[in-house]
Structure 1
Amino acid sequence: MIDVKICTHLFYSSASLRNNASIELDDEYTDIELNGYKRINDLRKRNRQFKTLTAIEESLWDDNAENNAVASDKQNFVLLLKALKEKFDKNGFILALAVEANESTANKYDIKEISKYVSFINLRAYDFHGNSDITAKRPKAGHIAPLYHSLKENAEEQKLNVDYIVKYWLSKGTPSNKLILGTTFRGIDYTLANPKIVGRDATVVVDPKYSIPPTSYYFTCPWERNRIWTTLWDKEQQVPYISKREEMIAYENVASIKLKAEYAKRMQLGGVFADSIEGDDFSGHCGGEKFTLLKAMSRVLRDKC
């Protein structure tokens, strides 16, 4: 069974596609009863550069639906995008894709061909580690979005980072200016088996009854100034961790987000997007400005020097 979810997104378009944010209206209550779609669309009256996008998201409830896919599906998807592109162009609409950041998913697309018919591709370059790869056989921590691989990782693990997946999509034919690097303001809250061993590959406690709880920069940033918490910077993977006794959080901070924005700029990508803005310090309660991460990212992208 395939469940299709339609969401509404707000998109701020510039000539370089380097500024975008999204607000999801993924239920009838938010959309209809709270008049969400109209309220978002009304923002265009204040700024004509805003564009409203409708996203169609499919969730596979039955794993067999994906496993039974045939080779012709690749070509059929290209034909679908081509047909949509022809219709969209007549109405001045934007056609884009959001894709998961792993090689196995990328292999299901004819990347070179689909790139011809979309305005941009949002690459979700995060969720490389967490519940999906923590098992009783591998009870080790990893960062949600390492920028680079570690020399201590095996061949498969070295594919689980931003740099690898970006270069993979580029090598398969995606024009760099159509690739939008996805970042996240979320984090992973681990329970350490040994409080003295922290960071990547630290052994963590696995409870099969519960998933690893997510967190966000909003909840984590106050602890950066708290002496009870210890911060750790992974020099190889260019990402932070913060810990206190048995608790350790793999998250993004200002330094790591700026590095990702600089990476996108250096690779001449089309821009950066964030998942999602409510995970940022939207109130300034950490002692700095509001939307700390979003503004840090924006400053890098806007700097022409």
Structure 2
Amino acid sequence: MFKITVYLLLFITFSQATDKIVCYFSNWAETRPQIGRFDVEDIDPYLCTHLIYAFIGLNEDSTINILDYQNSIGNNAIRRFNNLRLINPELKTLIAIGGWTEGSERYSDMVSTLTTRSIFINSTIEFMETYGFDGFDLDWEYPNKRGGKPGDKENFIQLLAEMRPVFDERGWLLTAAVNAAYKSVNICYDVVGLNRYLDFINLMTYNLHGSWDNVTGHNAPLHPAENDWDMLLNVDSCVIDWIKRGASPEKLILGTGTYGKSFTLTNEKENSVNSPTLGAGELGPYTGEFGILGYYEICANILNGWTRSWDDTQLVPYAFNGNQWVGYDDVKSLQLKAEYAISKGLGGIMVWSVDTDDFNGICGEKSPLINQIKKTLNGI
């Protein structure tokens, strides 16, 4: 209760600064079955201040690779996406390059020399001018990891330094999505450099726990559990760490997830946080991935008999049924995270992604999670 009160007391102080709602759209959501299918036209153009189309990729020659060309270009998904600004002229649209499946090796090669960086920047200019985005989001996962090299940390900053004047000349936003956890920050990022050249930093303060832990853990706990095996794998610790390393609070956009990390319990009677697991949870019927459930799948499960619990220490919910367990965010926990972002003077809230919120209103209000973030940041 004390923490909640503090967030509310500080709300007014920072309400003007914490004004961005940066939402990713995963274009493969258009291929999900039945009620899981989410098209560009399902996006409410007034829900977020910034929309990011995910993803494009990188060719071996350091030029832009338009992934899923048939959908993005053939079906005009990119054009339709940017046309959302015709409905809401204040909306900003960005394109994201990278993502988990792209890996790191090609990005490491691209940043390694002046020649390959120049090829990439010229390709980026051509892409941006052709398709008319307002900004470019670098989602390299991750420098010096997953096929990357130690020089990535410095070379990434050099790339940004070379991109910055080009983007300033054209009035484009330059942003990046970054791993929030301290161990990865040590390996991957020069935080001061990122802060110098980026307009804002999308902090991926989620995926902090998952089936790789062998025990249940929340996707994005605001604070550590009392018996947490790593007291720094939580949203608050990540934010404090990034600020201590040199990130300006107003440039940090607090990442939130409209999905949960799921597990299969070893013993269904042991269903609290840090209970032993056999691995990832079962496939979601619409998202179709082991260990991940969209919020609309989770809230439907709760309506159909799953037990919901609230963790008073981590300030997040979790739910379970039989040997299945999921840690996720709901309206209550996202209100607290939005209030937390305000209390820290952060630039706003980032959401992955618009297409796994309850956009159909299966459980009530449409897109309740993002709507709650918007209400909180607007002081409603």
What TM-score do you get using the length of structure 1 for normalisation? 0.84
Q: Does 1:110 align with 2:194?
A: no
Which residues in structure 2 correspond to 1:209-248 (within 5 Å)?
A: 212-226=290-304, 228-248=305-325
Aligned amino acid, residue 245 of structure 1 = G
Q: CA RMSD in A?
A: 2.5
What do the CA deviations read for 1:108-164 (whole angstroms, capped 9, x no partner)?
221112201110000010001113x23xxxx3111111111123123xx11111111
What do the CA deviations read for 1:31-59 (whole angstroms, capped 9, x no partner)?
11111111112222222222232222151
Over 3 Å counting, the alpha-carbon distance change for 1:188 and 1:75 in structure 2 is closer
| Alignment match, 1:186 | 259
What do the CA deviations read for 1:60-106 (whole angstroms, capped 9, x no partner)?
36999747723x54333222211111111011010111101211221
Contact 2:222 2:315 in 1 (8 A): yes
In structure 1, the gaps of 5 or more residues are: 1-13
Over 3 Å counting, the alpha-carbon distance change for 1:181 and 1:200 in structure 2 is same
Alpha-carbon distance in 1 for matches of 2:227, 2:313: 10
Higher helix fraction (1 or 2): 2
What TM-score do you get using the length of structure 2 for normalisation? 0.68
Over 3 Å counting, the alpha-carbon distance change for 1:145 and 1:170 in structure 2 is same
Contact 1:183 1:274 in 2 (8 A): yes
Structure of higher RCO (CA pairs closer than 8 Å, 6+ residues apart): 2
Pick the aligned partner of 1:34 from 61, 75, 94.
75
Over 3 Å counting, the alpha-carbon distance change for 1:230 and 1:113 in structure 2 is same
Contact 2:334 2:373 in 1 (8 A): yes
Alpha-carbon distance in 1 for matches of 2:198, 2:271: 42
Aligned amino acid, residue 91 of structure 2 = F
Q: Does 1:51 align with 2:124?
A: no
Alpha-carbon distance in 1 for matches of 2:299, 2:314: 20
Which residues in structure 2 correspond to 1:104-253 (within 5 Å)?
A: 104-107=183-186, 108-131=188-211, 133-134=212-213, 139-154=214-229, 157-206=230-279, 212-226=290-304, 228-253=305-330
Alpha-carbon distance in 2 for matches of 1:149, 1:54: 34
Alpha-carbon distance in 2 for matches of 1:185, 1:90: 35
Contact 2:18 2:346 in 1 (8 A): no
